[in-house]
Every structure is written in C-alpha cells, then in structure tokens.
C-alpha cells in the first residue's frame, strides 16, 4: 500500500511539529496494538473512553456544518457526522458487547479529564474561531489514525488480537474518506488564505491549533495505558 496523500495543508501542518507527530503516531499504545502486547484492560479502557470521545467529536464536526462557507464543506462535514454516529462507533459497541459492556454503559461512562480536554478544546476552537480554526484542530485525529491504520496493516504481527481495530482504520473506504477530507481542507484553506497560505498572518495560529490537538492525542494514548 502506498503512503496516503491527505493533502498539502496537512503535510505542512504535520511538518511544523515533527516531534509531537512522532510521539502521537508512534506512541507505545500504538506499538502494543501492532505487536499484540497491549494489555486487554488498557485497550478496553481506551475503547470505552473513545466511544464518549466520538460522541463529542461528532458534535465538533457538526459545528463544521454551521461554520462552513460552501456546500462542499457542508457535505464533507455532514458526511463525517453520519459516518461517526452511524458507522465508526459500531467497532466500539461490538467489541465492548463481546465482553459484557452494553451500549447504555458506554453512553454513560465517566469521561476522563484527558478525554474531556481534547474534545472540548476542538469544539472551543470552532466556537471561538472560524472554519479554519476548527479544521486545524480536527486534522490530527483524522490523518493520524489514517497513518497509524495503514502502517499497522503493513507491520502488525499476524496474531495481534487488535486486528479489528487496525482493519477499521486501514480499510480503503475509510482511507478514501480521509483523502476526501484532506482535499476539502486544502480547498478551504486556499479559499480563505490563498495559495501562499503559509505566509499569511493566520498560519501560525493554525499551526498552534494543530500542534495542541496532536498533544491532546498523545495525552489520550497515555490515558489509555493507565486504566483507573
Ligand atoms: C482519540 C481518537 N482520535 C482519533 C480517532 C479517529 N477518528 C475519530 S473521528 C474521526 C474522523 C471521522 O471518522 C477519526 C479518524 C479516534 N477514534 N479516537
């Protein structure tokens, strides 16, 4: 599988924080998913928290519909909300059901501080700022999991118990959606800041949004490794 092209805006943002990006996408939680050494309690703890994360993340993407300026932007945001609440959460529901955690328990799970910090940061970026602030804060989640899924699909141990998780994010339908999201991000930034966006007054602020969200992803993996 070739490396995915998630667009030039994402590449530029990622290149502005290489250390944080590596700490996120090569975190020991990720290594443990690939080689199968991640303890099951840590994985389930992560998955329950991630269910709650996706609920609030769907709210953040919904804000994208509100802040969009074109129909294409609205379509991508609305499509992502649909994918999240009607499809992506199925992995969480099915995996947890198999160990006796039902959906009501997932919905009512106590949200940990690292989880709350991340989603509320993204929602606030969109409330306080404009569409670009919102997508800069949303980007690490989309493209980071896209990169991780593809890398683990290539490198993971054949007998890792986390193959379903890896397949969810390596899946070509999922990758196609991420490529479409990347194209929309490129167009959204060029529309507002022009082709020379990296020299615009807004760029540093967008880099900060992206880096902060990347740091919050690192905190989410750390949280996963420490079941309460
Ligand atoms: C902590 C955390 N970060 C990223 C993802 C992956 N993810 C969540 S929403 C979304 C975009 C549209 O599906 C993607 C890729 C996750 N599940 N949990």
Cα of 192 from ligand 1 centre, angstroms: 26
Residues 199-224, mean pLDDT to the nearest whole number: 98
Indicate the average pLDDT of the chain. 95
pLDDT digits 0-9 by tens, 40-99: 999 999 999 999 999 999 999 999 999 999 999 999 999 999 989 988 888 899 989 998
Determine which one of 88, 141, 147, 215 is catalytic: 141
Among residues of the chain, what percentage have pLDDT more than 90? 90
Distances (CA, A) of 127 to 82, 116, 134, 201: 21, 16, 8, 20
Going by CATH, does the domain composed of 39-225 fall within 1.20.910.10? Answer: yes
pLDDT digits 0-9 by tens, 81-94: 998 998 888 889 99
Q: Are 213 and 122 in contact (CB under 8 A)?
A: yes
Among residues of the chain, what percentage have pLDDT more than 70? 99
Cα of 204 from ligand 1 centre, angstroms: 24
Sequence-ordered list of residues with C-beta below 8 angstroms from that of 188, at least 6 positions apart, any chain:
69, 73, 131, 132, 135
- The alpha carbons of the chain give a radius of gyration, in whole angstroms, of 17
pLDDT reported for residue 88: 83
Sign, Cα dihedral of 90, 95, 99, 105: negative
Pick the atom of ligand 1 nearest to 217's CA.
Answer: 1
Which residue CA neighbors atom 2 of ligand 1 most closely?
Answer: 141
pLDDT reported for residue 213: 98
Whether residue 217 lies in the annotated active site: yes
Q: Which of 10, 54, 78 to mutate to test the pocket of ligand 1 (most atoms within 8 A of CB)?
A: 54
Q: Are 160 and 36 in contact (CB under 8 A)?
A: yes
| Residue boundaries of the structural domains of the chain | 39-225
């Amino acid at each position: 599988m070739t490396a995915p092209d998630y667009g030039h805006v994402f590449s530029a943002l990622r290149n502005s924080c290489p250390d944080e990006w590596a700490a996120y996408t090569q975190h020991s939680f990720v290594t443990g998913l690939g080689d199968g050494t991640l303890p099951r309690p840590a994985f389930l703890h992560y998955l329950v928290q991630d269910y709650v994360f996706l609920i609030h993340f769907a709210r953040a993407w919904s804000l994208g519909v509100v802040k969009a300026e074109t129909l294409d932007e609205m379509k991508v945001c609305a499509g992502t909300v649909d994918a999240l609440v009607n499809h992506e959460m199925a992995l969480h529901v099915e995996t947890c059901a198999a160990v006796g955690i039902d959906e009501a328990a997932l919905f009512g799970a106590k949200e940990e501080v690292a989880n709350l910090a991340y989603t509320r940061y993204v929602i606030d970026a969109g409330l306080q700022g404009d569409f670009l602030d919102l997508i800069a804060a949303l980007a690490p989640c989309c493209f980071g999991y896209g990169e991780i899924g593809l890398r683990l699909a290539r490198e993971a141990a054949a007998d890792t118990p986390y193959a379903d998780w890896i397949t969810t994010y390596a899946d070509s339908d999922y990758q196609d959606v991420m490529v479409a999201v990347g194209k929309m991000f490129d167009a959204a930034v060029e529309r507002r800041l022009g082709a020379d966006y990296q020299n615009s007054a807004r760029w540093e602020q967008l880099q900060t949004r992206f880096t902060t969200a990347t740091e919050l992803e690192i905190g989410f993996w750390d949280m996963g490794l420490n079941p309460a």
